[in-house]
Amino acid sequence: MARYRLSLSLAASAVALAALFGGAAPGYAQQAVETKAREALLLDYETGTVLLNKNADERMPPSSMSKLMTAVMIFDRLKEGSLSLDEKFRVSQNAWKTGGAASGSSTMFLHPNQEVRVEDLLRGIIIQSGNDACITVAENLLGTEAAFAEAMNRRAKEIGLTGSHFMNATGLPDENHYMTPRDLAKLARFIMERFPEYFSIYSEKEFSYNNIRQHNRNPLLYTMPGADGMKTGHTSVAGYGLTATAKIDDRRQILVINGLDTMAARSDEAQKLMDWGFRNFENRTLFTKGEVVNTADVWLGDMDEVQLVADHDLRFTLPRRAAQNLDVKVVYNGPIPAPITKGQPIARLVVNGTDMPTPLEVPLVAATDVDRLGFFGRLGAAAQHLIFGHAQKQIESVASAVKQ
């Protein structure tokens, strides 16, 4: 059983509250494990908590990991009904020459003028990493690969990929074709949430086409229970990279690594970092949506205090040692002047514990409306304040609780 102490602190600064409400997801990058990867990002899927950050916002050549975006362009059309899995696309000479076996790059081994089902092309892109399949899709959907890349960029902005720019459908080297690890993680999560019906393709270990069988290059599919996607990448410029996800028990993690020297190093680093995340962190729900966390004093209101609640489940990714003995504080600038609107952020919950380099903070909101007193009520409250004053003190411990 894990204990946490709940205490209440008054007189939090407005600056601190403003920073909280506009803040980013919490993270533990300061204490993260070392990695040989040039770029790396490991995060918890559910809470978005960053467990490892090494150059996660640096632009990098994503190589074939950018085929995650190519697949999204197909998924979108399948979902809206403008494309079907049974529809056939014709392979051009350009697709065969630029992305096929003749180019010496990753290929589905398509033939010129061959007609290929969209479902097979999807597997050729996801499992075999076929550049010929990517170009075939691009040309059949938008006429040219350049037009397809422009559409990728527009869609990327809609998804919220702020550090990405695409010049082609394949990820082949181009100085203006780049992504950040954070964008790749965001894109992986988008695919899992938006297209669960197609996500399972990323876990398939092999695919055969034109009598040629090829294996999925994601090393975690063969070594790690719970691993179920996503995409590898490699060019001489980018090095070896991997965007991967795995779920063990009730936790899913997303990992992006890039810039490794060998396939073996990519496999070793991916396994090490995933294992580290699952071994050292756990998810814990402290309060559920609507649950009363504490109360706050009200000034010049028709109620003396207002209940503080969570507007969503307060679920955190915590170091395992921290989760066993948490210090939980409610902080607000009090008393809160009326009127107060139900759902208005008026306090924050601050969570601290062992192995946590910085506390985690989330807003708490008012559970009900609080109207302002009328003129005579305010006059009486003001008089009372002049006589008795208003004590603003820090209450070291107002409650204790035990949660599993």
CA dist., res. 293 & res. 6, Å (int): 9
CATH for 29-282 is 3.40.710.10
Pairing, β 292-299 against β 305-309? antiparallel
Are 375 and 383 within 8 A, CB to CB? no
- Angle subtended at Cα 76 by Cα 74 and Cα 80, rounded to the nearest 5 degrees: 120
More confident site: 132 or 326: 132
Mean pLDDT, residues 390-398 taken together: 35
Find, among 285, 251, 281, 252, the residue nearest to 404 by Cα: 285
Q: Phi first, then psi: what are they for 9, rounded to 5°?
A: -120, 135
CA dist., res. 132 & res. 301, Å (int): 69
CATH for 2-25+284-403 is 2.60.410.10
Choose, from 105, 129, 164, 267, the residue flagged as catalytic. 129
Q: Coil, strand, or helix at residue 290?
A: coil
- pLDDT tier, 387 (very low <50, low <70, confident <90, very high otherwise): low
CA dist., res. 290 & res. 284, Å (int): 17
Question: What are the residue boundaries of the structural domains of the chain, listed by start?
Answer: 2-25+284-403, 29-282
pTM (2 decimals)?
0.84
CA dist., res. 364 & res. 367, Å (int): 9
Residue 26 is predicted with a pLDDT of 64
Question: How does pLDDT run across 112-130, given as a tens digit for each residue?
Answer: 999 999 999 999 999 999 9
Domain 2-25+284-403 shares a fold with domain 29-282: no
Q: At what angle do helices 145-159 and 67-80 cross, to 10 degrees?
A: 80
Strands annotated E in 239-324 = 239-248, 251-260, 281-287, 292-299, 305-309, 314-319
Mean pLDDT, residues 242-261 taken together: 98
Mean pLDDT, residues 371-385 taken together: 61
Q: Is 379 exposed, middle or buried (0-12, 13-18, 19+ CB in 10 A)?
A: exposed
64 is catalytic: yes
Mean pLDDT, residues 320-339 taken together: 89
pLDDT at 393 over 70: no
Strands annotated E in 70-198 = 88-90, 115-117
Question: How does pLDDT run across 331-370, given as a tens digit for each residue?
Answer: 998 899 999 999 999 999 999 888 888 888 999 999 999 9
67 is catalytic: yes
Residue 28 is predicted with a pLDDT of 72
Binding site for substrate: which residues? 231
Half-sphere exposure of 167 (CA within 13 A, CB side): 11
Q: Phi first, then psi: what are they for 230, rounded to 5°?
A: -130, -70
Tokens representing residue 232 in the block: 């590898």
- pLDDT tier, 155 (very low <50, low <70, confident <90, very high otherwise): very high
13 is catalytic: no
More confident site: 386 or 281: 281
Residue 374 is predicted with a pLDDT of 66
The DSSP symbol for 176 reads T
Choose, from 7, 63, 66, 67, the residue flagged as catalytic. 67
Choose, from 63, 64, 106, 267, the residue flagged as catalytic. 64
Enumerate the β-bridge partners of residue 115: 90
Mean pLDDT, residues 48-74 taken together: 97
Rounded mean pLDDT of the chain? 87
**What share of the chain in percent tops pLDDT 90?**
77
